[in-house]
Homo-oligomer: A and B are copies of this chain.
Amino acid sequence: MTTKMAINAKELFRNQHRLIRIIEQSIRMCSNQSLNAAQQQKLQQQKPQLDTDFKITKSIASKLITAAPEPIVHDEEVGQQFSASSLSVRLAMPQQLQPKPDIDDELGFGKLFTDHMLKIYYHKSLGGWQKPEITPLENLVMHPAAKVLHYAVELFEGMKAYRGVDGKIRIFRPDMNMHRMNLAAKRSGLPTFEGEEFIKCLCRLLSIDSEWVPHTEAASLYIRPTLIGIDPTLGVAASDSALLYTILSPVGSYFKSDSTGAVSLLADPSYTRAWPGGAGNRKMGSNYAPTINVQKEASRKGLQQVLWLYGENHQLTEVGTMNIFMLFVNEKGEKELRTPPLNGLILPGITRDSILALARQWGQFKVTEDIFTMPDIKHLLNEGRLLELFGTGTACVVSPINRISYLGEDLYIPTMEQEKPIHETIRETLMDIQYGKVEHPWAVTID
């Protein structure tokens, strides 16, 4: 890539949205109809490209854009499903309403909560899922033998509601969260549910607490759907009672618009987050407790996050609670964006999936899902071919990495030294979608 091209890359990427928008408008809300969408895209591609001054260098299969997850098949024993049409609402009394925080203050992460919550009980003995209810935010009451308290029969999702530049509230690819949540339920012996019905209930909750969605791009409303097993029996077994609930928390942006902070990592191969045959690819509570002490150790060493390695070759798998991406110049001299594959050792991040889809659409560099190791990182650093390393996730969108402490060595990563870093373009692009600056099927507007 020439220098001039590199300088123009960011502008180029931003303009590409206009083309992507044209292509995607036609397939919007048709996410389950990929054949139909593919045909429409083909039609679009045959039309002259009007609203653009550049060409997409690679053809893109429509499923890369829409990536609609497979519908969940419920086990017969789950019983009746809940329906959003039977949702009941019990509003907080005026004196129960909490003052909204000043978003210029430090909101932190998940310390403040809104006025209401969503609850849906499951009781096998009562036929399955019960009626959904929105109630004031209140404490949960449970038997001390509840399985969630003993055997980590629990799973969750992380989503956000964004206040768009048009004042409308949007959520991002909620079908993906619902799909992943149901996969985790299956893995945990918890009942599966209809994601679409849940999202309808969630949208109602969001509209009730809509004033908690910050009126700024510097913050958002974090959404925490949670599913716990509450059977009051001590056998290590599937839970016949469960509670699916959701709380909302206003959170600050990890990055201010005028500055970005890079993080330093502890890479200690003596700790492993996930392993083949385990459940490291499901968003279950059990993946988190064992990481807390390791995170504390990183903090003690003055490092901000843990870089999770796996195997004798010290593969990079995740960073903190994020997926990891590397931009480098490969053996052929091409720029390549690489992230570890979905081989069971990493969480199938929705931000990860979105970045892969966008980058493949851009076609400006090679995009691969493949293993890379700490020796690879050192080798690339030595040859000056490592450009960027960053974590990705719902909370931070993108988190650039500038240092790794590994087996007594301090490795400095030049992520922040790139002139037009890819990770910034990615963050801006995703935030443009999330905050409604560009129309995109991934952003679902709450009416």
Instruction: Given A140-B141, A285-B150, verify A291-B236 contact (CB < 8 Å).
Output: yes
Is A296 engaged at the interface, CB distance under 8 Å to the other chain?
A: yes
Is A292 engaged at the interface, CB distance under 8 Å to the other chain?
A: yes
Q: Looking across the interface, which residue of chain B has its beta carbon closest to that of A186?
A: B293
A290, B296: Cβ atoms under 8 Å? no
Is A233 engaged at the interface, CB distance under 8 Å to the other chain?
A: yes
A140 shortest CB reach to chain B, Å: 5
Interface string of A234-253 (1 = CB under 8 A from B): 11111000000101010000
Chain B residues with Cβ under 8 A from A117's Cβ? 144
Chain B residues with Cβ under 8 A from A269's Cβ? 277
Is A287 engaged at the interface, CB distance under 8 Å to the other chain?
A: yes
Interface residues of A in 382-416 (CB under 8 A from B): none
Is A54 engaged at the interface, CB distance under 8 Å to the other chain?
A: no
Which stretch (A83-91, A151-159, A211-219) binds chain B?
A151-159
Chain B residues with Cβ under 8 A from A302's Cβ? none
A144, B137: Cβ atoms under 8 Å? yes
A210-B257 Cα distance, complex, nearest whole Å: 64
B150, A288: Cβ atoms under 8 Å? yes
Interface string of A101-144 (1 = CB under 8 A from B): 00000001111010001000000000000000000011111111
Instruction: Given A151-B288, A293-B186, verify A111-B271 contact (CB < 8 Å).
Output: no
Interface size bucket, A side? 35 or more
Is A19 engaged at the interface, CB distance under 8 Å to the other chain?
A: no
A152, B286: Cβ atoms under 8 Å? yes
Chain B residues with Cβ under 8 A from A226's Cβ? 144, 149-150
A381-B139 Cα distance, complex, nearest whole Å: 56
A189, B286: Cβ atoms under 8 Å? no
Chain B residues with Cβ under 8 A from A295's Cβ? 236-237
Chain B residues with Cβ under 8 A from A293's Cβ? 186-189, 238
A101-B228 Cα distance, complex, nearest whole Å: 29
Is A270 engaged at the interface, CB distance under 8 Å to the other chain?
A: yes
A277-B275 Cα distance, complex, nearest whole Å: 10
Is A13 engaged at the interface, CB distance under 8 Å to the other chain?
A: no
Is A50 engaged at the interface, CB distance under 8 Å to the other chain?
A: no
A153-B140 Cα distance, complex, nearest whole Å: 17
- Tell which of B145, B154, B235 touches A150, judged by Cβ atoms closer than 8 Å: B154
Instruction: Given A144-B245, A224-B150, A236-B292, verify A287-B286 contact (CB < 8 Å).
Output: yes
Chain B residues with Cβ under 8 A from A140's Cβ? 141-144, 146, 149
Is A434 engaged at the interface, CB distance under 8 Å to the other chain?
A: no
A140-B145 Cα distance, complex, nearest whole Å: 10
B277, A151: Cβ atoms under 8 Å? no
Is A278 engaged at the interface, CB distance under 8 Å to the other chain?
A: yes
A98 shortest CB reach to chain B, Å: 14
- In the complex, the 9 A-B pairs of residues with the closest C-beta atoms, listed nearest first: A110-B234, A272-B277, A152-B152, A151-B288, A152-B285, A286-B286, A189-B292, A275-B275, A279-B290
Q: Which residues of A contact B (CB under 8 A)?
A: 108-111, 113, 117, 137-146, 148-154, 156, 186-189, 222, 224, 226, 228, 233-238, 245, 247, 249, 269-272, 275-279, 284-293, 295-296, 320-321
19 pairs from A and B in contact (CB 8 Å cutoff): A109-B233, A111-B235, A144-B245, A152-B152, A152-B154, A152-B286, A152-B287, A153-B288, A188-B290, A188-B292, A189-B296, A224-B234, A234-B249, A236-B295, A236-B321, A238-B296, A271-B277, A275-B275, A286-B286
